[in-house]
Structure 1
Amino acid sequence: MIGAIIFDMDGLLIDSEPLWRDALVEVFNGVGVSITPEQFQATMGMTTPEVVAYWCAQYASHSKSVEEIIQEVDSTAHRFIAERGVAREGAYEILEFFKEKKLPLALASSSTMHLIDIVVEKLAIRPYFQVLHSAEFELYGKPHPAVNISAAKKLGVGQHACLVFEDSWNGVLAAKAGSMKCVCVPDENLKGDARLVIADEVIPSLLKFDEVLWKKLNA
């Protein structure tokens, strides 16, 4: 029996993944490293320090320190999201769906708490959630399951009783590594990826989640 719902944030509730890509490309181009938006897929779902460390390891020649690049990526992405971020299709509908079910909800993201606060205020969705939790407080970001496990503990619900909604491969891995059921609404670049077979359900939009799927997952 599912007792709680855990949502990812970037790319799932807010259309921010393209903005993170833009920030990453802009900042790395500025330090002499050329990264294409397509390459960003490899680090989607990770924390900013993990993303920056990954790309700095791939391209050893860059004109700023890792710490400086992390700060610039975060500040640039936060600005882009505050200015241009919009709710993903079906975000409000699915939050209302589970509100009516009277289930506790958590938001568990690889983004910082600062950005989580920006997003929940911008989209006016803070009242839906009992828990907001960032992987910045964990030793590892996704695909490690720590952020989801901590969110479940804060909700007072066992891992096996949680349903996670994700949009990235690393997010799906994190959910399954935490022994949680997972619904994936794949990012455009992930659609049709055979690896998603490990998700319990794959749907093209949050709008496609309905009572039939809920009963199937909750059986």
Structure 2
Amino acid sequence: MTTRGIIFDMDGLLVDSEKIYYQANIRAAKEMGFDFTPEDHHAILGTTDTYLRNYFKAKLGSATATTEFIDRSYRNVATVVEADGVAIKPGLVDLLDYCDNQGISRVIASSNFRSMVDDFMQSTGLQSRFSQIVAGDEVTHGKPNPEIFLKALDILALPAPSALVLEDSPNGVMAASKAAIPVIMVPDLIAPTAITNQQTLATVGDLAQVIPYLEK
């Protein structure tokens, strides 16, 4: 079935933000005297604020320390973005131009806070290219629960086979699979697994490489 709408993740897919988060978390952890590991980062990719807080409460032993860590991390992210901005991912402009030419609608479905999504869209100049957004604080259950993608699908007003999800993380791929929406993975920090390979139409190196699948 022809793709008539695309649901985009944001962090690590539209914008090169995951590296910023990773370094911000490492810095905050160092300031507080504990290690933030690659395994920690992988565990929280694409999850909700509630999951994030529960994860670090278990790791740090208290809600107070968790709040301090998260607040420090967000301040570190804001400092980097304000000073250096954030880059958009390769191939994005080509894909958006193609969607415009073909009349393919789009919506962002991000686990991040709506305020952070808006900040990144403004920082990158992408706000004019995405008028529809569903954020993590606008749903009850985060990825890998399919709720956010089902809500995005409602916004597109399309049947699932006519939509396409683009994701960079296994949690996002799993959520799309549970929603029965076709999904292509564009990996960022985490390589596809045997399970994600079973759940995706394809894995591609950048967003421009999605275009041939839209032309089929």
* Aligned-partner Cα distance in 1 for 2:75–2:156: 30
- 1:51-99 Cα deviation digits (max 9, x unpaired): 2321321342x69343343333333323323433111111111111111
- 1:79-123 Cα deviation digits (max 9, x unpaired): 323433111111111111111111211011011111111111122
Equivalent runs, 1:108-147 vs 2, <5 Å? 108-147=109-148
Equivalent AA in structure 2 for residue 16 of structure 1: S
Structure 2 residue matching 1:13: 3-state secondary structure: coil
- Find the counterpart in structure 2 of residue 70 from structure 1: 70
Structure 2 residue matching 1:175: 3-state secondary structure: helix
C-alpha spacing 1:195/1:79, structure 2 compared with 1 (3 Å) = farther
**Alignment TM-score, normalising by the size of structure 2:** 0.88
C-alpha spacing 1:80/1:159, structure 2 compared with 1 (3 Å) = farther
Unaligned 5+ segments in structure 1 are: none
* Aligned-partner Cα distance in 2 for 1:52–1:7: 25
- Find the counterpart in structure 2 of residue 40 from structure 1: 41
- 1:151-195 Cα deviation digits (max 9, x unpaired): 22122223343201010111111111111110100124315x322
* Aligned-partner Cα distance in 2 for 1:131–1:123: 16
Equivalent AA in structure 2 for residue 130 of structure 1: S
Asked if structure 2 preserves the Cα contact closer than 8 Å seen for 1:135 and 1:146, the reply is: no
**Alignment TM-score, normalising by the size of structure 1:** 0.87
Q: Do structure 1's residue 208 and structure 2's residue 213 form an aligned pair?
A: no
Percent identity of equivalent pairs = 25
Unaligned 5+ segments in structure 2 are: none
Corresponding pairs, count: 213
Asked if structure 2 preserves the Cα contact closer than 8 Å seen for 1:108 and 1:134, the reply is: yes
* Aligned-partner Cα distance in 1 for 2:96–2:73: 29
Deviation of the 1:39 alpha carbon:
3.3
RMSD: 2.1
* Aligned-partner Cα distance in 2 for 1:72–1:49: 17
* Aligned-partner Cα distance in 1 for 2:211–2:161: 21
C-alpha spacing 1:6/1:168, structure 2 compared with 1 (3 Å) = same
Asked if structure 1 preserves the Cα contact closer than 8 Å seen for 2:160 and 2:182, the reply is: no
- 1:106-143 Cα deviation digits (max 9, x unpaired): 01101111111111112212222231110111112111
* Aligned-partner Cα distance in 2 for 1:140–1:24: 23
Asked if structure 2 preserves the Cα contact closer than 8 Å seen for 1:94 and 1:206, the reply is: yes
* Aligned-partner Cα distance in 1 for 2:154–2:79: 32
